Structure 1
Amino acid sequence: MQADRDALKQAIINLLMNSVEALPEEGGLIELWSEPAASGTWIRVRDNGTGMSPEEREHALEPFFTTRNKGTGLGLAIVHTIMQEHGGSIQIETPATGGTTVSLFFPANQTGSST
């Protein structure tokens, strides 16, 4: 698959910005990694912030949904659109221990914009 480099960069930046906003004042941690899968590639961003409630996860990809006073609610909606344009998907997980992992899946046999 040929991905749109600028769109991919924007998606990762949006995920990292969300993670930074979620971090505790001390001891914050953000991890970013990719891993191959049989049918594509996963890119994951994990933080050790407060996590998201089930209700927040349910609405997180909707435009203008935000839980922050200064948030626009467009970050994850833009990521979702980018993933749709690439034939991919997005998953949001918050374990009971806290933190959030957002996973982007890019299928191997899709064609996206090339750059």
Structure 2
Amino acid sequence: MISFDVVSLFTNVPPTFTIDYILDQLYPVCSTNCLQLSKSKQCVDCKRRIDFQTLLEIATSKTHFSFNNKRYVQHDGVAMGAPLAPIIADIFMAYLETTLMDELISLGVCE
């Protein structure tokens, strides 16, 4: 049995990749490519996808925090203490685990 730990999980989670992964799972890519069309001509799923993407990006980007009476903006990862941080980190880790296990199984390393 092997056990691994993630160092600095929240700061190493790629929010943009994870948001795209979440959107791909919830809203499969539209066959008519309406994401390139104006919003009034898009299908309902594409509109929902864009709206949800906007909400996730607002909630995970430009996170501010203070340290030693100075204010900072976190540019990488998700902020510890942010409401969505554990969920985003968990989704990314589930993706990573599934991808790596599939690769190990295809190589015959494990069953």
TM-score (norm. length: structure 2):
0.33
TM-score (norm. length: structure 1):
0.32
Query: Which structure would you say has the larger Rg?
Result: 2
